[in-house]
Structure 1
Amino acid sequence: MPEKSMQGNLNEIDICSILQLIELGQRTGLLYIEADLEPNSRQRSINLRQYRLLINTPRQISHLSWLIFCDRGEIIYATDFHGSVNSSHSRLDDYLRHYRVKLPSPIIQSASTWQDDFPFNAPEYENLWMLLNQDIINTNQARTILTGLIRETIFELLDIRGGKFVFQEGIKLTPKLDAWEITPLIQEMNQQLRNWQLLFPHIQSPQQLPQLRNPERVRASLPANTVQKLQRWADGKTSLRRLSRMLHRDILVVGKAIYPYVQQGFVQLLPPSSYQLSANFPSHHDQPSRRVLCLGEPIPESLQSILLAKGYQAIAIPNSSDSLLRLFDIQPNFILLHVSVCDDKIYDLCGMLRYSQTFKFVPIIILCPEDGYINRVRAQSSGATDFLSIPCQDSELIMLIEKHLNHHVHNHVQQNQHLSIAVNIK
């Protein structure tokens, strides 16, 4: 076993930072990430040598985990590990369905792709190479499948909250089919995740199972070919993620395609089964996080508690020279700007945000200690969504946040619906 490793808690460092450290150091090795489904469960250490035992032992899992293999600071393979090796077999089968290829059984269990001193293998990756070596699929098809496997893994990882990780340096997965640069991949998946969150609350997780709600009503309301497609795919057994693999479509495209039918009540989305639970699917006590950022002033504890209970993440940053950079880094869904902190400059900042593509449509409320016609006009001319004089009641501010945030999400989803209807589900 190689000696060099780093490990830690995801409450202290996020996934993006870990991957960027691997990229900057041009490191080769295996990154194992574990997210607890039970936040209050007892913390335990991670031992990579237990992997072979774990994947062959049926159990009721209390955590989700992922593996990312890196070579010289680039990703060469990534997979989830949410229970057993059979889930990986199913994942590859889903991708192969598009090419009308069936993965032979049983799964390969050789350790030829590993260093001799490491005690487990990567069956999904080995099976992909087996199909390639036997000319069942070609190089382009193998690369496309591998790209999909990596993208969906990163998509899940970027939305997890807390957990543990360990990076073991020196573990090398061979042969290498291709490599993906980390920074562009993270940027692309972050943007996809932000667009996916616009489908909340109607669609929340790629692991939800679409099911036709009222077949008779659907047949009476929709064209025959649309009904046929919905009956074929919305069976209550196939997740949105599996549909995206089998249809050879991006998960966001599939989500947008099914969205109008969910919104109109033709399709319902069932929760995933226990082994499919994903960090992207919030529980009753963990609603989809929406980031409310307050520039300049600490957020009162009373307001923080209310925001948290309603599923918001409250973030406060001081007004400083790097505030604008931090705004772009945090990517808030809602912004509160305090005039009392930076005086007239707050209106200039609001105007700058409105000119940026990133914050063009993000709701911005200007909080001002002086209520008056001139201040309200200045707020409106700078592009602010609304104006509120302070001090104010927490309930008043919460009401304003929910009003504009819900309106913002609804408008963006409406803008995307024409794309959803145009998607051709085979």
Structure 2
Amino acid sequence: MQGSLNEIDIRSILQLIELGQRTGELMVEAYSSSQTTMEMERHPIRLTGQCWLVFSWNGRIIYAGQSEGSLQRLRDYLRRYQAETVLSELEVPSITSVNAPEYGYLWVLLENQVITPNIARNIIHCMVQETLFDLLSLHQGAFIFEMGSGLAPQLTTLEISPLLADIFKQVQEWKKFHPHITSPNQCPLITDRSKLQKTVRPKVFESLNHWADGQTSIRQISRYLHRDIVTVAKAIYPFVQQGLVQLLALHPENIFNEPETFTDRNRTPRIVCIDDDLVIRESVEIILREQGYEATAIGNPLKALSLVFQLKPDLILCDIAMPELNGYEICAMLRNSTAFRQTPIVMLTGIDGFIDRLKARMVRATNYLTKPFGDAELLTLVETYIGPGKTIDASVNTDLEDEFMTELETL
């Protein structure tokens, strides 16, 4: 099941999953709000990077979240239980899907007795509600549902219909706050502290003074206080109307394709290209080596897996359509390994289509490059994730030129 949200809305998609008692993974990606319908039809892969995942089992929801893999949302929920700092001390979970690191860490927290099963189930319920709120507010985008074995082990399963009914009411309530409040990611900030203090009760002022710092979003406040975002928005709405509180924009939490930390500049950045097309392999090697990168191209996808672990590249380019083992399978296998969980993996494809891009998202590929591509396209993308190649020292160049000139004189 796949298509556009112009054809079917999220509510109907989830109802179909429930009615069909489907087990698998729903992925939804939003179109840019600046795109017109005509532009979307012409360029279906130009998406915003905002992407959500809903995992189901027998028509019930197991877990839902964004695909970018950040643990910030989980930290926010753990703050209520004074456990947010524990995450950095835990080992990377081995039981989780590559698309659900939060879920895996919840299990590790349980195993280490940091939280109880009831707390874990409560956090998942809140995460699912939060995700469904975003999805039911979405009207333009693409989706794909892939049948599978389901996310395991399961902490809880949630019935879809009651959830949809509750969240739909929240979305309708949220619309009433427009145009004063437009996004859960907006951060309230007190504009006139003395006037506000005279206007409200001391306890209300104390609460607003604590939370309305211009750095904490409505969504984060709702997580910290264990309240839905409509309740939080309703509480600050009168003060926003009166101009006592203003709302500052905050970048969405789900910044997909955020550049990784550049590699150590004392060594040459290493790149592996996996592609069964000889022309592509040779072209990529030439382009990258000329710019100071160490490039290795591999044509056999089966051999590539073992070689990648030996080479330990800083970035991997991987063709999607290959015999024996396709790019999605390779990416999924690498993401299941701790060694390559954070390594940038760029999928190469000759097909312009949002379904390919969504599938790349589902295996947590970092980016997507359409063939044929030019030198500038490839280098811009590579530099975004691992920085520029290692350039030859200017003095070395001079020595080489002198040697060459001396040799010419002897001819």
TM-score bracket relative to the smaller structure: 0.5 to 0.7
Matched with 2:14 is 19
Instruction: Tell me how far apart the structure 1 counterparts of residues 253 and 161 of structure 2 sit (CA, whole Å).
Output: 30
Question: Structure 1, residues 52-77: CA drift from partner, whole Å, max 9, x if none?
Answer: xxxxxxxxx82311000000010000
Match of 1:7 in 2: 2
Q: Aligned partners of 1:13, 1:107: CA distance in 2, in Å?
A: 41
Q: Determine the C-alpha separation between the residues in 1 that align with 2:146 and 2:45.
A: 14
Distance 2:101 2:187 in 1: 27
Q: Please, which of 208, 212, 231 is the counterpart of residue 230 of structure 1?
A: 208
Q: Partners of 1:271 and 1:249 in 2: how far apart?
A: 21
Deviation at 1:175, TM superposition (A): 0.6
User: What's the counterpart of residue 164 of structure 1?
Assistant: 142
CA contact (8 A) 2:61 2:158 kept: yes
Contact 2:192 2:244 in 1 (8 A): yes
What does the per-residue CA deviation read over 1:143-177, in whole Å, with 9 as the maximum and x for residues that have no partner? 11010000010011001111100111014211101
State the shift of 1:272 in Å. 2.5
1:201 maps to which of 179, 185, 193:
179
Quickly say closer, same or farther: Cα 1:175–1:72, change in 2 above 3 A.
same
Give the equivalent residue in structure 2 for 1:28. Answer: 23
Q: Do the aligned partners of 2:90 and 2:108 also contact (CA within 8 Å) in 1?
A: no
Q: Which residue of 2 aligns with 1:96?
A: 78
Partner SS for 1:217: helix
**Count of residues in correspondence between the two structures:** 249
Deviation at 1:45, TM superposition (A): 5.8
Structure 1 residues 263 and 45 mapped into 2: Cα distance closer, same or farther (>3 Å)? closer
Asked whether the equivalents of residues 108 and 126 of structure 1 are also in contact (C-alpha less than 8 Å), the reply is no
The SS at the match of 2:88 is coil
Q: Are residues 1:128 and 2:89 paired?
A: no
Q: Could you tell me which residue of structure 1 aligns to residue 301 of structure 2? A: none
Structure 1: gaps spanning 5 or more residues: 1-5, 47-60, 115-119, 278-426
Partner amino acid for 1:62?
Answer: T
1:75 alignment partner, one of 46, 61, 69: 61
**Distance in 1, Cα, partners of 2:105 & 2:148:** 23
CA distance in 2, matches of 1:85, 1:273: 16
Report the Cα distance in structure 1 between the residues aligned to 2:216 and 2:198, rounded to whole angstroms: 24
Tell me, what secondary structure is at the counterpart of 1:8?
strand
Percent identical pairs in the alignment equals 45
Q: CA deviation at 1:85?
A: 2.3
Distance 2:13 2:253 in 1: 26
CA–CA distance in 2 between the matches of 1:137 and 1:213? 39
Whether the aligned pair in 2 keeps the contact of 1:109 and 1:121 (CA below 8 Å) is no
Whether the 8 Å contact between 2:186 and 2:248 is mirrored in structure 1 is yes
Change (3 A) 1:183 1:108: farther
Of 92, 96, 99 in structure 2, the residue corresponding to residue 113 of structure 1 is 96
Preserved CA contact (<8 Å) 1:76 1:180: yes
> For 1:44 and 1:107, how far apart are their aligned partners in 2?
40
1:267 to 245, 254, 259: 245
Aligned residue number for residue 64 of structure 1: 50
The 8 Å contact of residues 107 and 123 in structure 1, kept in 2 or not, is answered as no
Q: Deviations over 1:266-318 (max 9, x none)?
A: 111112225569xxxxxxxxxxxxxxxxxxxxxxxxxxxxxxxxxxxxxxxxx
Is the 1:208–1:240 contact (alpha carbons within 8 Å) kept by the matching residues of 2?
A: yes
* 1:31-50 matches, cutoff 5 A: 31-37=26-32, 38-39=34-35, 40=39, 43-44=43-44
Distance 2:236 2:177 in 1: 10
Describe the SS at the equivalent of 1:104.
helix
* 1:79 to 1:107, Cα distance in 2 relative to 1, 3 A: farther
**Letter in structure 1 aligned against 2:63:** Y
Letter in 1 for 2:69: V
Distance 2:199 2:99 in 1: 51
For 1:265, what is the secondary structure of its paired residue? coil
Q: Equivalents in 1 of 2:61, 2:160: separation in Å? A: 7
Q: 1:255 to 1:155 in 2, by over 3 A?
A: same
Q: Distance in 1 between matches of 2:222 and 2:159?
A: 23
CA distance in structure 2 between the aligned counterparts of 1:108 and 1:133, rounded to whole angstroms? 11
Shift of residue 201, structure 1, vs aligned partner: 2.2
Q: Which runs of 5+ in 2 are unaligned?
A: 256-411
Greater mean deviation of Cα atoms: 227-236 or 25-34: 227-236
Residue 14 of structure 1: CA displacement? 0.7
Judged with a 3 Å threshold, the aligned counterparts in structure 2 of structure 1 residues 233 and 158 are, in CA distance, closer, same or farther, namely same
Q: Using the alignment, how far apart are the partners of 1:220 and 1:112 within structure 2?
A: 54
- Structure 2 counterpart of 1:240, from 206, 211, 218: 218
Q: TM-score, normalised by structure 2?
A: 0.57
The TM-score normalised by the length of structure 1 is 0.55
Q: How far is the alpha carbon of 1:80 from its aligned partner?
A: 1.7
CA RMSD of aligned residues (A): 2.1
Superposition map of 1:228-307 within 5 A = 228-273=206-251, 275=253
Larger Rg: 1 or 2? 2
